[in-house]
Each structure stands twice: as C-alpha cells, then as structure tokens.
Structure 1
Amino acid sequence: MNLVAPSTRLIDSATGAVLGGDELADRLGRVAVALGNLPAGVLFARSGLTVDAVLRYAGAVEAGRPVALLDPALDPAVLADFVRRFEPAAVLGLAEGGAGATPGDLPKGYRRVEDEALGPVWVRETAPADQPHPDLAVLLATSGSTGDPKFVRLSREAVLANATAIAEALSIGPDEVAPTSLPLYYSFGMSVLNSHLAAGAAILVVDGGVLAREFWQAVQEHGATSLAGVPYNYEMLHRIRWSPAKYPSLRTLTQAGGKLRDEVILAFHEKISTAGGRFHVMWGCTEAGPRMSTLPADALPDRVGSVGPALAGGSFNVLDADGAETSEPGVVGEVVYRGPNVMMGYAEGSADLSRGDEQGGVLRTGDLGHLDEDGFVWLRGRLKRFGKIFGIRVNLHDIEEMVRDQGPVVAVSGPDKIVLFLEGIEPDECRAVAGRLAERLKLHRSGFDVRSIERLPQLPNGKIDYRSLEAQV
C-alpha cells in the first residue's frame, strides 16, 4: 500500500490552487527522484503548514527515505545539536516558517544546494558512519519543540497501519476535506494527514490555527468536513461560543492530545449532533504512530470520560498488582497496548537509527486506567504524575478532576505540597478551592497552593507546557 491514494488532493488555501490526479503524481514523483539523489541516510524536514512541506514528507515516505519532521521554529541551537548527533544526509525545508524561523548557520560538513524540486537544502558532504534501518520511515521528537533528545522511530508498516485503521474508524473517504488545524511535526497532525492521504481525501493546507479568521474563511470557502483539535483548541472554541452550525460542511470533530473536560465534550457532542455530525474522542501517543483508540460517537453521552476501545488491529490489557497482564474489567493498572503501529524504539543518536524493532508491537503506555466489560479504556492519569503532601502520595490527575468544574487546571508537585494553576479563576477564589480540596482529602489547607493564571502555557502543538509550570514552583 502507498501512503498517497490516487484520488488525494492538496488544496492551498493561500492561492486556492488544487493539486491532484496526474499533476500531484508528477510533483510527488519529481520530489521522490530528488530525494533519491541525495546521499544515503536519514532526512531532516523542517515542516510548516505548506503544500511544499506535505510534498516533501509524502515524497520521502513514497521514496523509502526515512524522514524526521521538525518544527521550523525549532531553536537553531537545538537543530544544530540534532544535526550533530543524528548526522542527517540532508536538511530540507530551510525556507519553512517565514523570515523569523531561521534554521541557523550552515553546519560543519554540509553544503547548501538549491534544488528545483526541494528548494534550498543542506546536504551532507560525507557519508555518516551509521545508516538507518531499512524499515525506518518516520522520526518524531518526543516533546515537540522542547529540545528533548529522543526521537520515536516509526516503521513504514506502523505509519500505514495506523493511517488505515483511523480511516476505517472515522469512515474517511475521498469526499472528505481535512484542514491542517495542527502542526505536521506533531504526531496528531501527522496522523490526520496520513489517514486522509491514505483514504484518497483532500487536505486543505491552511496556516493560522482555529482562532484565526483566515482559518475559518478557508473552511467555509473549501467546504472542510472535519476538524481535529487538542483540549486547548476546544476549550478556546468553547469559551468564544463557537458553533459548527456556522459551517454546514463540517460533520466530524475529533479530539486527542490529552484530557478534555467532560462538560466540554458533551457540549461539542450536542452541537455537532444537532448539526447532523459526530464527535470522536481519541487517544494515542507518539510511540504508537500515534493513535490507539477512538470512542464511537454513538457512545456519547453514556460513556463520556472513556477513550473507547482499541482501533482495528490493536488491543489493550492492564498490568495488575502482580505485574501480570489482564483484560478483566475494573482492574486498575498501567495500560498496555499491542498493535502494528507501535514504534520500533527510541533514538538518541545516529547509531540508534540502524537498530531494528525493539518493541515487538508492545507498548507500556505509562497511563493508569482500567477496561470495562466491552473493552473500553477509562484513564486515570499518568503513572508518573504523582506528588506528596505531608508525605502522603497523591495522584495529580485525581486532584485536577476534583476542581475541573472551575475551568482548565493543571496540578504540579511542589515541596511537600501540590500547586494548582487554574485558568481564569479570580484570585480571591483560590483560598476557597484550597479549602475544598483540604476538606475532601482530610488534609491541612497548607498542602494546597492554588494560583490564578490568565492562560495555561502551551507548547506549539497545543499541549500544556508542564515544564514551564513546574519551573514556577
């Protein structure tokens, strides 16, 4: 199976140009040939929300060239460190991201080339000591733009299997039009792209995000049929009272990338249902290429809070108290996923790129949860997201759930206390929230430091920037 189906179209919202059929095949072919002429090794692709970025990525997968998708706004020093450690054959997309997104200085051992099909490229002058494994297709940084030293290694089979399973779960067909509401270097954004390319649908390439007027103008003009968002996107749309009824072509809303408040899920489920559409909660992680489950739209509102059963080809178990896997309903433990979309492993340097599959299709997710009698997953927070109050261990996810009715909230561990950041709460309400938690958990009020914050900090992919909050504690 190829990643790009024959009926796929790319729509450039900036120009209105539509690229499809023989013209798309020709452009992809020329990109693939140009990539094939580059030295052997992994490719780095700075990938903004442009048609050229989509063509470089799809061309690399089609040509069998492993490619790392990178944020074009990545700090030049971080990019230089990645280049030093992973020794890519070439760095593509030097012009991505606009004038303010410079890739930095030409690295030592590279030369700059102007290629007709690829644009400006840094090309390595000598072959790296290590060559990537033949199954390797895509590399994604584990923490987006934070400079985390690890890449997730995804095989071609993992990328295609996940794209196919998602297209099946969401009934994506050639008549669908998906806008690029998420960055391509973010695993969820790449997944939306993959599933629509594989299904022969249209990709509406539009920059700006869901709060930009230009984004919704493009949705209206080109008849976008779906919207993918992380919790922050939906919280913001909920706050401004956005309604899908304004955009009659929209019929599918999907949400992944973290926990969205139940009341917001139900609000959007009701809105899109009234308009004849559906709302899907999905769950995944970069290490699973990246989606693992979807909650069927007809499971709402009865199963709000669940992330649903595994996608086709996958399965879930839970580790019990003895460390044994079980699918028994109600057992709480670390959720384990099995499926063809599980990564090959991590990479921290060029030598790791030559390694084969180290996971065997099994992923310990690091999330606590349980299964119900129908195999639906109910999550209870991250395994490592714990703090201590007066020496008592508490689950930070549980703490957040206790006050989530106040609005978006993040709890982090402080020195023998829990610090909560509540978005939009009045400062004089913070003490009341702390008292409520103290009473609920039978602990002294001083164990809770509740702070008002105008807006929770976000990473470029829309997820909460926990590190910046922890740095404030």
Structure 2
Amino acid sequence: MTLVGAGSRLIDVAGGRTLDDAELSAEVARKTDELAKLPVGVVFARMSVDLDSVLTYLGAFEGGRAIALIDPALDADVLIGLVERFRPAAVLAASGDAPSGYTTRGSDWVRDSAEGVEPHPDLAVLLPTSGSTGNPKLVRLSRDGLLANADAIAQVLKIDADEVAPTCLPLHYSYGLSVLNSHLVRGATVVIESSGVLGRGFWDAVKEYGVTSLSGVPYHYEMLRRLKFDPAKYPTLRTLTQAGGKLRDELVAEFNEKMLAVGGRMYVMYGQTEASPRMTTLPAERLADKIGSAGPALPGGSFAIRRDDGEETTHPKIVGEVLYRGPNVMMGYAEDEAGLSAGDEYGGTLATGDLGYLDEEGYLYITGRLKRIGKVFGNRVSLDDLEQAVRTAAVGIDVVAAVAAGDKVVLFAELPEGDGAKAICKDASRALAERLHLHASGFDVRPIDTVPLLASGKIDYRSLEGRV
C-alpha cells in the first residue's frame, strides 16, 4: 500500500496552488530525490503547516527515508540537544546558526560527516514524546504501522475520494499527521491552511474549498462552543472528529446534536502517539447511547485490562490499565542515534498508562491516567478527575488544568481578572472539598487569563508546574 492514493490532491491556500494526482506524484518524487542526496541517518524536519512541510514528509515516507517531525516552536536548546543525541543527516527548515558538525545550506543544517547510523528499514517516522521543553525521547513508528492505522481510520470514518479535510492540527502532532494520512490513503483532498480552527482564514477556506470534516482536541471544542459554532453555516461540512484527550460529556452531546440537526455526524476517538496514533473510534450512530466512551478498538486491534494483580481480563466493568494490541503499535523508543537501528521491541502490545474499563460490547471507557496523580493531605487524587469535577460543579469554569504541588493541588482556571474570578475560584475549592471530604485549603484554584497549550492544542502541564 502506498500512502498517497490515486486521485489525492493538496490545496495550498497560502500559495493559491492545487496539486492534483500527477503533479502531486511528481512533487513527492522530487522531494524523495532531494532527501536521497543527504548523508546517512534520520532526517529532522521542522514541520510548519505549509505545502513544503507536507511534501517533505510525503517524499520521505514514499522514499523509505526515516524522518523525525519536529515542532518549529521547539526550544532552541532542546533542538540542539536532540541534534547532539541523534546526529541527523540534516535539520530541514532550521533556524539560527548551525551547530558544530553541521553546515548551513539555504535554510537547512546538513551534517558534515558522511558517517552515521543507518535507521532500521522498517522505521518511517519519529515523533518526540513531549512538547516544547524537557528532554524528549523519540517514538519510532513503522511504515506498516502508520499505513495500517491510516487504513483502519479511513474504514471507520468512511473516508473516500470525495472527502475534503483541512489541516486543523499541527503536522508534527500525531493526530494532525493521522488526519493527513487517513485522507491521502483514500485519494481524498487535503486543504493546507495554517491559521487553525480559531482563525478567520480557516473558516473562509472551509467555505471556499468545500471542506467536509473538521478535527479537534477538547480545547478546540471548548472554544467553538464559546464562539457559538453553527455547522449550518457550512453546508459541505458533515463530519466532526475529536481526540487528544477526553471531551466532557455534555459537549460531546451538544456537538453531536448540532451535527445531527444538519444531517452530519460526530466521532469520538482515543489514541496515543505510540499507537500511530489512534486506537478507537466511537461510531457516530452509537454516540448518543455511549456518551463517555472512546468506542471499540479499530479494525485489526483489541483491548485488554490489566488488573492490580497483573492479570489481564476483557470482562466488563473491571478497571485497570488499558492494554492495546494491534499492527499500529510503535516499534519502541529511541534515546539516541544508536536506537534508530533497533527493530520492533514491543511486538504489537502497548501498555497505555491509562486507566479504564470495557463494557459488555467491548467499548472502552477511560477513567484517568496512572501518573496523573496528586496528593491532598496525604490522600491520592486523580488530577483528571479534579478537572472534570470543577467543570461539572456549575461554578462558571469550563477550562481548567490541575497540577500536583506537594501536599495540595493547584488548579488553574481560565477566567477574566477581577473580584468575580476570585469568588468563582473559592466556590470551586469549596465544591472540591465537599466532593472529596477534604479541607478546601488543599485545592488552590487560581484564575489565569489563558491556560497555556502545546502546539497540539493539549494543555502544557509542564509550563504550569513551573508556576506553582
């Protein structure tokens, strides 16, 4: 199977250019040839939402060249650290002076030495495990795993050549990459527009190019609700998909009703970068009676629950760590250049680190994270559960982020400044105290203008941890 299916099109809004089937194939082949001239090793590409970044990725994939997709906003020192550890053949679309051992060629850094580690032949894409800070490992995704996932997603979302999907999400983010893959593999059209779902230019492109689907993480849907999103204004739009974390149930129901009212559909999905990246899709026709579920495993995949005693089960309602098995599970992690040549170390099984259970029909429900745990006066609490409790407490907080802070939890609530915000935060602290039967001083709710986000649209918890 090839990633760029027959009939695929790319529409570049910024450049006013459309690449149809033959021209797209020619441009991808040109990129493949350019990458083949680089020294041995993985290629780093700083992935903006633009035509050149898309073509670079496609040229690497179709040419069998391992490529690491890098956030263009990645801290400069973190990027340099990655370059030192992985010695890439080149850093494409680089910024600033080239580090030692590299020469600047146009906008790229190219390694001076021809010697390097040859990546494993199955390795196609590497994605960092963290956001713009820290010391990330690289997730190693295989060509077959990415293709299997793209095909499975296309099956359950019923993607065909008539679909038109925009670049709602960054391309270095696994969910954004998955949208691109699952449409191109079916010969559909992808509209490259960089402003995202909160930009006016994006919605102009939705109308002009007949966009049929939108994809977003929970934060996007929170914002769309505030903006009173009405799908009736966009006659071609017939599908919404949501992943990247759990969207509160009332918003799932609300957006589902909006789409049903115009003859459309909404799909809720669950995934991780380590699964190339999606593992479930909740069928649109079952969404109303399965609110809160992430859905069943994608075709070719399966779930089991690992109980506290280490045993696996598929019996319903038993909570434990979610285990996933499927052809899309990563090959493993790479810590440095030497790890690029390693083969498959996971054998198709992924321990997700998420807590959850299966129902009688095999539909998955996620209840929290093993590591998203804080302590309040010595009592272990789920930070995800605290966020959900604040949102459902009816105190006026929709966007909130919880981080552990010693023997208490700090919750940052997105609120306008003023005495009203302080009062709302006190109400939230009291609501949590009553719910968990702990003193309110253990829940430090603070107003914040805007909860910081990673480029993926997920909350930047690391940044918030630096503020407590």
Note whether the superposition's TM-score is higher than 0.5: yes
Q: Which runs of 4 or more aligned residues in structure 1 lie more than 6 Å from their structure 2 counterparts after TM superposition? A: none
How do 1:186-197 and structure 2 match up within 5 A? 186-197=173-184
Would the alpha carbon gap of residues 79 and 415 (structure 1) be closer, same or farther in structure 2, given more than 3 Å must change?
closer
Deviation (angstroms), 1:456: 1.3
Mapped to 2, the partners of 1:232 and 1:75 lie a distance apart of 23
Deviation (angstroms), 1:147: 4.2
Could you say what secondary structure the match of 1:323 adopts? coil
Match of 2:442, as an amino acid? G
**Alpha-carbon contact 2:40-2:116 (below 8 Å) kept:** no
Mapped to 1, the partners of 2:15 and 2:341 lie a distance apart of 41
Could you say what secondary structure the match of 2:4 adopts? coil
Question: Quick check: 1:68 aligned with 2:63?
Answer: no
Identity %: 59
2:439 is aligned to 444
Deviation (angstroms), 1:145: 2.4
Mapped to 2, the partners of 1:226 and 1:315 lie a distance apart of 27
Match of 1:256, as an amino acid? A
Mapped to 2, the partners of 1:128 and 1:287 lie a distance apart of 29
**Alpha-carbon contact 1:141-1:151 (below 8 Å) kept:** yes
| Aligned residue among 116, 121, 126 for 1:134 | 121
Could you say what secondary structure the match of 1:426 adopts? helix
2:20 is aligned to 20
1:99 is aligned to none
**Alpha-carbon contact 1:144-1:185 (below 8 Å) kept:** no
Task: Name which of structure 1's ranges 151-160 and 32-41 shifts more when overlaid on structure 2.
Answer: 32-41
How do 1:297-308 and structure 2 match up within 5 A? 297-308=284-295
Mapped to 2, the partners of 1:148 and 1:175 lie a distance apart of 42
Could you say what secondary structure the match of 1:154 adopts? strand
2:246 is aligned to 259
Mapped to 2, the partners of 1:281 and 1:441 lie a distance apart of 29
Q: 1:13-54 CA distances to partner (integer Å, 9 max, x unpaired)? A: 123321012111111111112212222211111111111111
Question: Quick check: 1:346 aligned with 2:341?
Answer: no
Q: 1:240-274 CA distances to partner (integer Å, 9 max, x unpaired)? A: 10111111111110111111111111111111111
2:372 is aligned to 385
Mapped to 2, the partners of 1:272 and 1:16 lie a distance apart of 30
1:98 is aligned to none
Structure 1: runs of 5 or more not aligned: 95-102, 115-119
**Alpha-carbon contact 1:333-1:370 (below 8 Å) kept:** yes
2:383 is aligned to 396
Q: 1:272-323 CA distances to partner (integer Å, 9 max, x unpaired)? A: 1111111111110111111110111112222111100111111111011211
2:280 is aligned to 293
| Aligned residue among 447, 457, 461 for 2:456 | 461
2:159 is aligned to 172
How do 1:39-54 and structure 2 match up within 5 A? 39-54=39-54
**Alpha-carbon contact 1:141-1:148 (below 8 Å) kept:** no
| Aligned residue among 139, 145, 152 for 2:139 | 152
Match of 1:85, as an amino acid? R
Task: Name which of structure 1's ranges 267-276 and 363-372 shifts more when overlaid on structure 2.
Answer: 267-276
How do 1:24-423 and structure 2 match up within 5 A? 24-94=24-94, 103-114=95-106, 120-405=107-392, 406-423=397-414
Structure 2: runs of 5 or more not aligned: none
Mapped to 2, the partners of 1:418 and 1:109 lie a distance apart of 45
**Alpha-carbon contact 2:97-2:104 (below 8 Å) kept:** no
Mapped to 2, the partners of 1:338 and 1:239 lie a distance apart of 38
Mapped to 2, the partners of 1:220 and 1:147 lie a distance apart of 40
Mapped to 2, the partners of 1:390 and 1:350 lie a distance apart of 44
Deviation (angstroms), 1:122: 2.4
Deviation (angstroms), 1:185: 0.4
Match of 2:414, as an amino acid? E
Could you say what secondary structure the match of 2:290 adopts? coil
Match of 1:211, as an amino acid? L
Task: Name which of structure 1's ranges 445-454 and 8-17 shifts more when overlaid on structure 2.
Answer: 445-454
Mapped to 2, the partners of 1:18 and 1:239 lie a distance apart of 33
Deviation (angstroms), 1:72: 1.8
Could you say what secondary structure the match of 1:14 adopts? coil
Mapped to 1, the partners of 2:128 and 2:440 lie a distance apart of 40
Could you say what secondary structure the match of 1:387 adopts? strand
Mapped to 2, the partners of 1:184 and 1:146 lie a distance apart of 18
Deviation (angstroms), 1:457: 1.2
Deviation (angstroms), 1:129: 4.0
Deviation (angstroms), 1:336: 0.4
Could you say what secondary structure the match of 1:281 adopts? strand
Match of 1:364, as an amino acid? A
**Alpha-carbon contact 1:11-1:19 (below 8 Å) kept:** yes
Mapped to 2, the partners of 1:148 and 1:189 lie a distance apart of 22
Mapped to 1, the partners of 2:414 and 2:129 lie a distance apart of 26
Q: 1:395-453 CA distances to partner (integer Å, 9 max, x unpaired)? A: 22222222212422222212211222222272112222222222222222222212222
**Alpha-carbon contact 1:87-1:128 (below 8 Å) kept:** no
Q: 1:372-395 CA distances to partner (integer Å, 9 max, x unpaired)? A: 001111111111111112211122
Deviation (angstroms), 1:77: 2.3
Q: 1:220-253 CA distances to partner (integer Å, 9 max, x unpaired)? A: 1000111011111111110110111111111110
Mapped to 2, the partners of 1:423 and 1:144 lie a distance apart of 21
Mapped to 2, the partners of 1:456 and 1:113 lie a distance apart of 38
Task: Name which of structure 1's ranges 133-142 and 430-439 shifts more when overlaid on structure 2.
Answer: 430-439
Could you say what secondary structure the match of 2:380 adopts? strand
Superposed CA RMSD in Å reads 1.4
Mapped to 2, the partners of 1:158 and 1:357 lie a distance apart of 11
Q: 1:188-215 CA distances to partner (integer Å, 9 max, x unpaired)? A: 1111111111111001000111111111
Task: Name which of structure 1's ranges 267-276 and 33-42 shifts more when overlaid on structure 2.
Answer: 33-42
**Alpha-carbon contact 2:78-2:135 (below 8 Å) kept:** no
**TM-score where L is the length of structure 2:** 0.95
Mapped to 2, the partners of 1:391 and 1:128 lie a distance apart of 53
Mapped to 2, the partners of 1:79 and 1:426 lie a distance apart of 38
Would the alpha carbon gap of residues 104 and 78 (structure 1) be closer, same or farther in structure 2, given more than 3 Å must change?
farther
